[in-house]
A and B are shown apart, each in its own frame.
Chain A
């Protein structure tokens, strides 16, 4: 490990043993050269780093624009927008690779990830330094809060802890082989989208609802926000801590970049060992000695900063001047793989995905069967963002540890709107299938299959006003959107305690008509308590035909007599 040194003066002490070829140029060891590295910043307008900053700004701007545009009104007005909204998720090679491992397919737009992956074969981790909006955010925070007194290169020295990301990647990919997709927890783009949707935008809307329309709720926003803030704060300790130490996508691109043709190369003869190259090094990749290629973010700051022009971006440079691989410990890697191997069995042993499925876990319409869903969902929260009623919420504990931040419907907050498939349209991985309105409602050619059922409504007779309190109500029947209504009422005559005889309408649920949209639960006036009518996963259509009895969540053999759904297409 290198000792911390002052960055403003050239060092005269010999390099550590690892820096082969660095010492020969330091013959006159006592000459302390006045370094004016700032000069290089003044040469030319379109320096490579300026271009990089522009590209980063544009990419971050695009991300913000896409995130803000991802609303129901926009998607509804312009369905073609869906093609663009998930762009940053679809170009993410880690999502493509991990879902390819779990599902053996590359879903729809994920093929776009090749436009990041293929250039990485030649240029290294340019994505991290140039494109990644989360990386740009860390870059910016690190720059904004950088220490101005201690101008030291020590913060940017290479650390053994940078191996951690490879262990994380290994554990997650091994877990993916066994069917549980967890990359979404730390994949930078999923993390950024989730933080934006789950914490930043709702939090901005809370004090200023007039600016951002209706306030949006998000379950567990505190945890999502704390993770975002904590990771950003780490930049004050170690610049780009997330990118260097945790990022599994960076790790993947780092592994891949061992093939790269180009890299930053130091000309040992010209190098005076002044260490200026490390002053703004984003990747902590040791450009002053043997470059750690897997860590280099190709930010070009070192080339910019070098007062001797001893650094350049070269094609097929000398292998002696670099450390090609990731240099990780094989034993630790195997251990990480074992952790990933055991993760699946550990979380599945609870049976929460199958036999002990939580009754209040309702997935959005278009969700595939639960185990397939867990193979696909990357927890990006795009569905929650686009939902017009805010019913889709990232799960905190409701879906178990494995389902942390996967989408679930909270009918106390919203309901599933009948003529809406926005969540399905924006899902980047097919965890929510792209279904049409006809498919969702069981119209047209789907009449025989019937509608998508999210679950079934149940009435709690103790809480229900007409049932338990002899008070008129039946709001649930009023709002029930199916035709004929799944909720109907029976007229009963009751004698109250004071002898008054009242005729009441008592609601009932027709199990064959209920689609589990949750509008009844949402509108139920019993709000201070658990709702008097609530939807559970019972009868959800996504698992209805599953041959495994542990995965089939329907008490009904088959929905009785498909109702005469002969309506023509009713869309505008």
Chain B
């Protein structure tokens, strides 16, 4: 192909070189960063908010806010129905769940343990909570938790997988894509008021999809927080290195109590881990119904009061000495705007005095 350069060649090459010069200069100009910061700058975190899942329940003021049902594990259907029915004798679960709702149920599946050891939510309690939701006409029921150990193993070993599959609900095993930054409060946390969390990665995808959230937590002893019940159960929605929160465990749990406004909480005291919590490991660590001595299920629209009741009546300890209950009450009082449907009473006797606590023996 040797030959003389044609005029066309010269023009083509010349134009190409000029064009390439322009591209290089433009690219350099657009990408130029004189301070070396732009490439490293913190990416604007889109911090998300959680809605109040209790807001559209329209809970009547005179209805009981806490309802306990005691009965044998073999009769769990009646026990769970009685506990939830106690909150609204007319409509039962239909008070909370409407047709077409997407319900997120958050059991405690934190450990790879057989259900008999009481470290995780009893599968039968979960079964009947799911069934009641289904009867109320849900569109989807999601069950999720972010355990300490391998999620697949935890869900399988605790018997939760089996029950969820049998009841036609869906398990959502947490994966990286499900997590997102969730804001707890708009302002910087004030450590003086016991506030620690500003925003933190949480298992957001199911929370975003759900229209209702139900917590189903076992009642357990906890080595550091003294007890793990419904408020501590939200800890299982935190991502990343959440173990650092143990440096301020009560502050963190009460922050979560402020953040999460569930539709309903169900405390599973079919067997209460009295010692060696939160992992347990021996049957002698647990006791059916704790101090009460009889398997119990508590349903409540006030997670703080529910925890206080369980702490006193099931674990047999003094709720006034459980710091996170008082902190949760104070934070909810301080931060919840007037008129928002939110309960946060750490003194369950105040409810009892007003006749807002019911108890049935099934």
Give the shortest distance, in Å, between B45 (CB) and chain A (any CB).
Answer: 20
Cβ B246 vs Cβ A76 within 8 A = no
A412 to chain B, nearest CB (A): 12
Chain B positions within 8 Å of A471 at CB level:
247
Instruction: Evaluate contact between B246 and A210: CB separation under 8 angstroms.
Output: no
Does the CB pair B111–A210 fall under 8 Å?
Answer: no
A 198-220 binary contact with B (CB < 8 Å = 1; else 0): 00000000000110011100000
Q: Which residues of B contact A419 (CB under 8 A)?
A: 112-114, 153, 157
Whether B246 pairs with A473 at a CB distance below 8 angstroms is yes
Whether A523 sits at the interface, judged by CB under 8 Å, is: yes
What is the minimal beta-carbon distance from A465 to any residue of chain B, in angstroms?
Answer: 7
- Check A553 for interface membership: any CB of B closer than 8 A: no
* Contact status A210-B223, CB under 8 Å: no
Q: Which of B14-22, B95-103, B277-285 is found at the contact surface with chain A?
A: B277-285
Distance in angstroms between the alpha carbons of A454 and B253 in the assembled complex: 34
Say if the beta carbon of B222 comes within 8 Å of chain A: yes
Contact partners of A237 in chain B: CB under 8 A: none
| Distance in Å: Cβ of A502 to nearest Cβ of chain B | 12
Q: Is the CB of B243 within 8 A of A505?
A: no
Known: A389-B149, A465-B247. A477 touches B114 (CB 8 A): no
Closest Cβ of chain B to A25, distance in Å, is: 47
- Choose among A210, A213, A388, A480 the residue with the greatest number of B CB atoms under 10 Å from its CB: A388
With both beta carbons as reference points, the residue of chain B lying nearest to A489 in the complex is identified as: B223
Expressed in whole angstroms, the Cα–Cα distance for A210 and B241 within the complex equals 20
- Please name the residue on chain B nearest to A571 by beta carbon: B114
Tell whether A461 is near chain B: CB-to-CB under 8 Å. no
Interface residues contributed by chain A, number (CB under 8 Å): 45
How many Å from the CB of A463 to the closest CB on chain B?
A: 14
A72 within 8 A of B: yes
Residue-wise interface mask of A (463-496) relative to B, using a CB-CB cutoff of 8 A (1 in contact, 0 not)? 0010000011111011111111100010000000
Kindly state whether residue A452 has any CB partner on chain B within 8 Å: no
- Asked if A474 and B223 sit within 8 Å, CB to CB, the answer is yes
Contact check, B153 vs A572: say whether CB atoms are below 8 A apart: no
A210, A480, A481 — most chain B CB neighbours (10 Å): A481
CA distance A72 to B153 in the complex (A): 8
A527 at interface, CB cutoff 8 A: yes
Find chain A residues with CB under 8 A from B149 CB.
388-389, 415, 417, 519
Contacts of B157 on A, CB cut-off 8 Å? 419, 572
- Please give the distance in Å from B345's CB to the nearest CB on chain A: 27
Contact with B153, one of A76, A215, A478, A519 (Cβ below 8 angstroms): A76
Find residues 74-101 in chain B having any chain A CB closer than 8 Å to their own CB. none
B159 at the A interface (CB under 8 A) = yes
Q: Number of contacts between A and B (CB, 8 Å)?
A: 108
**A415: which B residues are within 8 A, CB to CB?**
149
Residues of B within 8 A of A472 (CB): 224, 246-249
Q: Is B6 an interface residue (CB 8 A)?
A: no
Q: Are A483 and B280 in contact (CB under 8 A)?
A: yes
A483 B281 Cβ-Cβ under 8 A: yes
A81 contacts the other chain (CB 8 A): no
Residues of B within 8 A of A420 (CB): 112, 153
Contact of B246 among A72, A417, A525, A572 (CB under 8 A): A525
User: A362 CB to closest chain B CB, in angstroms?
Assistant: 18
A524 at the interface (CB under 8 A from B): yes
Residues of B within 8 A of A414 (CB): 150
Q: Are A485 and B246 in contact (CB under 8 A)?
A: no
Contacts of A359 in B (CB 8 A): none
A450→B205 CA distance, assembly (Å) = 43
> How far is it, in angstroms, between the C-alpha of A419 and the C-alpha of B149 when the chains are bound?
11
B117 on interface, CB distance cutoff 8 Å = yes
- B window 108-162: CB within 8 A of A: 111-117, 148-150, 152-153, 156-157, 159
Contacts of A478 in B (CB 8 A): 222-224, 246, 278-279
A482–B249 alpha-carbon span in the complex (Å): 22
Scoring A417, A465, A475, A568 by chain B CB atoms within 10 A of each residue's CB, the highest score goes to A475
Bound Cα distance A73, B116 (Å): 21
Q: A510-531 toward B: CB 8 Å interface, digit per residue (1/0)?
A: 0000000001000111010000
Q: B residues within 8 A CB of A213?
A: 173, 175
Q: Write the chain B residue with the least CB distance to A485.
A: B276
In the bound complex, what is the Cα–Cα distance between A420 and B156 (angstroms)? 11
Contact digits for B246-273, partner A, Cβ 8 Å, 1 yes 0 no: 1111000000000000000000000000
Knowing A210-B175, A415-B149, A418-B112, say if A485 contacts B279 (CB, 8 Å).
yes
* Residue in chain B with minimal CB distance to A215: B176
**A473 close to B247 (CB less than 8 A):** yes
Q: Does B335 contact A (CB under 8 A)?
A: no
**A160 contacts the other chain (Cβ, under 8 Å)?**
no
Residues of B214-238 contacting chain A, CB below 8 A: 222-224
Whether A209 contacts B176 in the complex (CB less than 8 A), given A72-B153, A472-B246, comes out as yes
Closest to B157 in A: A419
Chain B proximity of A417: nearest CB distance (Å): 5
Contacting pair A474 B156 (CB below 8 A): no
Highest count of chain B CB atoms <10 Å: which of A472, A477, A478: A478
Q: Are B224 and A505 in contact (CB under 8 A)?
A: yes
| B residues 150-191 in Cβ contact with A at 8 Å | 150, 152-153, 156-157, 159, 173, 175-177
Q: Is the CB of A77 within 8 A of B223?
A: no
CA distance A484 to B223 in the complex (A): 12
Interface check A150, CB cutoff 8 A: no
Q: Does A570 contact B (CB under 8 A)?
A: yes
10 nearest A-B pairs in the assembled complex, by CB-CB distance: A483-B281, A388-B150, A483-B282, A525-B243, A525-B244, A73-B152, A475-B243, A570-B114, A388-B153, A475-B246
Known: A471-B247, A525-B243. 18 other contacts (CB 8 A): A209-B175, A209-B176, A388-B150, A414-B150, A417-B150, A465-B247, A472-B246, A474-B246, A475-B246, A477-B224, A482-B281, A484-B276, A489-B223, A524-B243, A525-B246, A527-B241, A572-B115, A572-B157
A interface residue numbers (CB < 8 A to B): 72-73, 76-77, 209-210, 213-215, 388-389, 414-415, 417-420, 465, 471-475, 477-485, 489, 505, 519, 523-525, 527, 565, 567-568, 570-572
A sample of 10 inter-chain contacts (CB < 8 A) reads A73-B153, A418-B113, A419-B112, A420-B112, A471-B247, A473-B247, A477-B224, A483-B282, A523-B243, A570-B114
